[in-house]
Structure 1
Amino acid sequence: MPEESSFQSRIAKGCTMGFHGVPAEERLHWRSFLVKLGADNLKGVKNEELLVACHKSVYIVYTVLGDVSIYVVGKEEYDELALSEVIFVITSAVKDVCGKPPSERLFLDKYGRICLCLDEIVWKGYLENTEKDRIKRLVRLKPPTEF
């Protein structure tokens, strides 16, 4: 895994949904912490190999998928086991959208569809959908034919 590129920096800054419930004054700390955590630990990690950390009573499960680092953070009922399920659903959705583990270019090309999937998986900081077929159905960009 290369050091954080400008691509990863842009994506990290753009993914504000990942900061749901975090006060604005703490967001920079968490972003910096996660970037350092990834830089220190993701080198040489295989695609979808899960790593777990704990910081300030908060669990972090993270992995790499192609050129993309994925972090899932939670506390209380969202412990490392629950977060492992969430990250599995996210990596599956990204692979479905991209057709394979994404390169930087492919991730950016599919960014809109990936965000739609993330919105269906996690809503206001809570796990909402984990079923692959349901997520695919919900992110279709066509109106439903039957009601």
Structure 2
Amino acid sequence: MLLAVLIANSEGNILVERFNGVPAEERLHWRSFLVKLGADNLRGVKNEELLVANHKSVYIVYTVLGDVSIFVVGKDEYDELALAETIFVITSALKDVCGKPPTERLFLDKYGKICLCLDEIVWKGLLENTDKDRIKRLIRLKPPTEF
């Protein structure tokens, strides 16, 4: 299960978070842990260079894209490889929506579309869509034409 997708700015402020199956009392711990992990390890990392961590029997894959840090947390079948695929889909969707690696301002300007993309990529803790063209069609908010 994908436990969390979290996107933060360079100062560690959380811009978007999606938790699945994580009790409310544990979410604060995960927020602070992931932000600290990023602050300790993401300095000087190139765009889309993946870093991997393990904490409390879960896997964490994280990266930098422009001015934002992206963290994906999973357990069981969502090991490092599955999380790497998930974060690749998320980063490519972010680049498509923003047109380039996002600055914090651009990210916030496109916030609604980014949230729609995340909802189409990860649904109830499962990786739902990985096809970039399908995600683009789904976030247009028009009824589907193909069956």
1:9 to 2:21 alignment? no
1:49-128 correspondence to structure 2 within 5 Å:
49-128=49-128
CA distance in 2, matches of 1:10, 1:77: 26
CA distance in 2, matches of 1:82, 1:121: 13
CA distance in 1, matches of 2:14, 2:74: 23
CA distance in 1, matches of 2:93, 2:37: 24
The two structures have a TM-score, normalised by structure 1, of 0.89
Provide structure 2 residue ranges, at least 5 long, that are not aligned to the other structure: 1-8
CA, structure 1 residues 4+124, in 2 after alignment: closer, same or farther (shift >3 Å)? same
The two structures have a TM-score, normalised by structure 2, of 0.89
C-alpha root-mean-square deviation of aligned residues, in Å? 1.6
CA shift for structure 1 position 144: 4.8
Aligned residues: 139
Provide structure 1 residue ranges, at least 5 long, that are not aligned to the other structure: none
Higher helix share: 1
Greater relative contact order structure (CA < 8 Å, 6+ sep): 2
CA, structure 1 residues 146+132, in 2 after alignment: closer, same or farther (shift >3 Å)? closer
SS in 1 for 2:52: strand
8 A contact 1:122–1:129 mirrored in 2: yes
SS in 2 for 1:48: coil
CA, structure 1 residues 146+20, in 2 after alignment: closer, same or farther (shift >3 Å)? closer
CA distance in 2, matches of 1:134, 1:43: 34
CA distance in 1, matches of 2:25, 2:125: 18
CA shift for structure 1 position 142: 3.7
8 A contact 1:68–1:103 mirrored in 2: yes
CA shift for structure 1 position 145: 6.0
Fraction of identical pairs, as percent = 83
Q: Which amino acid aligns with 1:9?
A: N
CA distance in 2, matches of 1:81, 1:94: 20
8 A contact 1:4–1:35 mirrored in 2: no
Runs of 4+ displaced beyond 4 Å:
143-147
CA distance in 1, matches of 2:73, 2:14: 19
Higher strand share: 2
